[in-house]
Amino acid sequence: MLPDHLKEHAAAVAVDAFDADAVKAGKFAHGELTLEIAPAKIASVCGFLKYDQKFVRVSTVTAVDRYPAEPRFELVYHLHSIERNERLRLKCRLPGADAAIDSVTGVWRGANWYEREVFDLFGVRFLNHPDLRRILMPDDWEGHPLRKDYPIMGPRA
Amino acid sequence: MSESGVPELVLPEVEEEQSSSGGRRMVLNMGPQHPSTHGVLRLLLELDGETIVSCRPDIGFLHTGIEKEFEVKNYQQAVTLTDRVDYLAPLSMNLGYCLAVEKLLQLEIPPQAQWMRVMLTELTRLNSHLVWLGTHALDIGAMTVFLYCFREREEILKIFEQFSGQRMMTSYFRIGGLALEPPRGWHERIKTFIDIFPSRIDEYENLLTTNRIWMGRTKGVGVISLEDMLDLAVTGPMLRAAGLKIDARKDAPYSSYEKFDFEIPTRTENDVYARYLVRLEEMRQSVRIVRQAMDGMPAGPWKADAPHVVLPDREKMKTQMEALIYHFKIVTEGFRVPEGEVYQVIESPRGELGYYVVSDGTTNPYRVHMRTPSFGNLQAVPRMVQGALIADVIAAIGSMDFVLGDTDR
């Protein structure tokens, strides 16, 4: 159910009309719209936003670690519609244990490296990703450096 | 995944297949120290003769964990980290970060600081494009252009030094305004440079634009469709050379760019040559912006009226109790930023630079993610060089103008 304060935002209304269970919450702050999406719905919502709502670009995919709070991970997607000159932020919350979410590489191929980066640095797995390997850290690295419980000086300190 | 949850070492598969021409396919390891990769990029090229069957970029050699480092610095200290990401466009990196934090703080930046930022960011664009042009031409075999470009770049670096005391890692933009008062005599210095620079762009054009070797090496090379580029998160001059008029300075103006009169150059050929022409025209437009900023520079303060964020003047700090307290608080603890998150996009010389800053209300950023243009652009390399010749790979990746520090962070 779409919260009342989001009803003036066309993108929010459209996503809600597409799938009434998709939008869990949302807010509009600093001129930026954020929609919190149910993790199971992310791929279908992204597909809808790209093909129906003209969000042709995924600007970036990243994550925030809320450790020790649960659900621990926030996956953050920044989308861009050139035609509407509009940006949109999607957010999915994932539990800390065995965090996994559907990949959106099927929607935008450009999400590939961004999801690999999140996998590498946060340890969140992406299902149906074509090439889920570490990208910035060495292949045999242990741990995920951007997690909040990973020591800033590295594991040896 | 192995039992410990660590992904197993995945080595690239080397398949020795019979190729269509009857020979064997070969895997060529280009980089990480190949001079044309401008840093440490490794490309795994699968070849059939001299034709590229597939390409796999391998990045991460320059990963320094800067995003993690942000989390243990306070907001103002973290400005100095941003320079080191894209070291050819340090002021663009400073600007994006400062704008993002200022948005969270809801700070009003005085006009002089905003215009100074515009002027210096455009000089940064010139600086970056000059390095690009020089090295790109060098890769393709035109040595002279490199020397010409670095002659002008030296002048820009001297201007940066005059402003900030640093040639490259300037950190001149700070949250709340500028780091230092603009130096005496900056106007003459920039005017001298700007007056002479357009004729220098003509010199580069004389050397390259109608040069038959240059045209032969760049025309029709490195073509990739606009749809592919949008899908693969490519931004910046690459898109503009494919005919898409996209530029954050016009689409979502920041730091009073809306007050400046300039064009967004576009081409439709979508090859290495078109990208070269787009960037040259961008240099001319940047000169226009710098000139407007220089002539119309508003008077007034160069830092925001926000004593809890901006350090007080030395004089005040020495004579007023309140200023001393603020000084002590800012230096020892930093300032608190209200809880929230912003995504600030600016147009860096390489394309869309986005800062995603999350604050939890303390003095350190909770999370900073840099959406750097080089990272997105590099994803398109395999698509771009497929079916091309090895020599064209050099021209194609040169036309992307990536910086590996910007890619690996």
pLDDT in tens, A69-118: 889 999 999 999 998 899 999 999 999 888 899 999 999 998 999 999 99
State chain B's mean pLDDT as an integer.
Answer: 88
Q: What is the pTM of this model?
A: 0.88
State chain A's mean pLDDT as an integer.
Answer: 88
Q: Which residues in A lie closer than 8 A to residue B368 (C-beta atoms)?
A: none
Of A7-16, B65-74, B355-364, B369-378, the poorest mean pLDDT is in A7-16
Mean pLDDT calculated for residue range B276-304: 92
Please indicate whether residue B24 or residue A148 has the higher confidence score (pLDDT). A148
Alpha helices in A105-155 (DSSP H): 111-122
Q: Which residues, other chains included, contact A120 with Cβ-Cβ below 8 Å and sequence gap of 6+?
A: A134, A135, A136, A137, A144
Mean pLDDT calculated for residue range B171-188: 90
Size of interface A-B (CB pairs under 8 A): 100
CATH among 3.40.50.10860, 1.10.645.10, 1.10.10.10, 3.40.50.720 for B66-408: 1.10.645.10
Mutate to test the interface with A, among B1, B4, B6 (most CBs of A within 10 A): B6
Which tokens hold the place of B405? Answer: 């520090």
What pLDDT does residue B11 have?
53
Compute the distance between CA of residue A69 and CA of residue B142 in angstroms, rounded to an integer. 57
pLDDT tops 70 at residue B145: yes
pLDDT tops 90 at residue B122: yes
Q: Is the CB of residue A46 less than 8 Å away from at least one CB of chain B? A: no
pLDDT grade for B101, boundaries at 50, 70 and 90: very high
Residues listed for chain B: 409
Q: Which residues in A lie closer than 8 A to residue B345 (C-beta atoms)?
A: 59, 87
pLDDT grade for B404, boundaries at 50, 70 and 90: confident
pLDDT tops 50 at residue B248: yes
What pLDDT does residue B27 have?
85
Q: Of A59, A112, A145, which has the smallest distance from its Cβ to B352's Cβ?
A: A59
Q: Which residues in A lie closer than 8 A to residue B379 (C-beta atoms)?
A: 109-110, 112-113
Compute the distance between CA of residue B47 and CA of residue B323 in angstroms, rounded to an integer. 67
Computed from CA positions of residues B337, B341, B347, B350, in that sequence, does the dihedral angle turn out positive or negative? positive
Compute the distance between CA of residue B403 and CA of residue B409 in angstroms, rounded to an integer. 10
Mutate to test the interface with B, among A80, A108, A140 (most CBs of B within 10 A): A80
Q: What percent of chain A has pLDDT over 70?
A: 98
pLDDT grade for A122, boundaries at 50, 70 and 90: very high
What are the two backbone dihedrals, phi and then psi, of residue B406, each rounded to the nearest 5 degrees? -70, -30
Q: Which residues in A lie closer than 8 A to residue B249 (C-beta atoms)?
A: none
Q: Of A108, A121, A139, which has the smallest distance from its Cβ to B10's Cβ?
A: A139
Q: Cβ contact (<8 Å) for B343 and A114?
A: no
What pLDDT does residue B100 have?
93
Q: Is the CB of residue B160 less than 8 Å away from at least one CB of chain A? A: no
Closest CA to A35 of A105, A87, A101, A102: A87
Closest CA to A37 of A59, A6, A65: A6
pLDDT tops 90 at residue B95: yes
- SS3 label, residue A97: coil
What pLDDT does residue B288 have?
93
With tokens 């008062």, the residue in question is B181
Q: Cβ contact (<8 Å) for B343 and A87?
A: yes
pLDDT tops 50 at residue B2: no
pLDDT digits (tens, 9 = 90+) for A23-51: 888 888 888 999 999 998 899 999 999 99
- Domain definitions of chain B by residue range: 66-408
Compute the distance between CA of residue B279 and CA of residue B399 in angstroms, rounded to an integer. 10
pLDDT grade for B38, boundaries at 50, 70 and 90: confident
Q: Which residues in B lie closer than 8 A to residue A142 (C-beta atoms)?
A: 4, 6
pLDDT grade for A61, boundaries at 50, 70 and 90: very high
pLDDT tops 70 at residue B313: yes
What pLDDT does residue B20 have?
54
Contact by Cβ (8 Å): B21, B50: no
pLDDT grade for B237, boundaries at 50, 70 and 90: very high
Compute the distance between CA of residue A120 and CA of residue A137 in angstroms, rounded to an integer. 7
What pLDDT does residue B1 have?
43
3-state secondary structure string across chain B: CCCCCCCCCCCCCCCCCECCCCCECEEEEECCCCHHHCCCCEEEEEEECCEEEEEEEECCCCCCCHHHHHCCCCCCCCHHHHHCCCCCCHHHHHHHHHHHHHHHHCCCCCHHHHHHHHHHHHHHHHHHHHHHHHHHHHHHCCHHHHHHHHHHHHHHHHHHHHHHCCCCCCCCEECCEECCCCCCCHHHHHHHHHHHHHHHHHHHHHHHCCCHHHHHHHCCCCCCCHHHHHHCCCCCHHHHCCCCCCCHHHHCCCCCHHHCCCCCCCCCCCCHHHHHHHHHHHHHHHHHHHHHHHHCCCCCCCECCCCCCCCCCHHHHHHCHHHHHHHHHHHHCCCCCCCEEEEEEEEECCEEEEEEEEECCCCCCCEEEEECHHHHHHCCHHHHHCCCEHHHHHHHHHCCCCCHHHHHC
Q: Which residues in A lie closer than 8 A to residue B232 (C-beta atoms)?
A: 109-110
Closest CA to B353 of B272, B262, B248: B248
Residue-range domains of chain A with CATH: 4-97 (3.30.460.80)
What pLDDT does residue B115 have?
92
pLDDT tops 60 at residue B300: yes
Q: Cβ contact (<8 Å) for A133 and B345?
A: no
Mean pLDDT calculated for residue range B36-48: 81
For chain B positions 218-277, those within 8 Å of chain A (CB to CB) are 230-234, 244, 246, 251-252
pLDDT tops 60 at residue B16: no
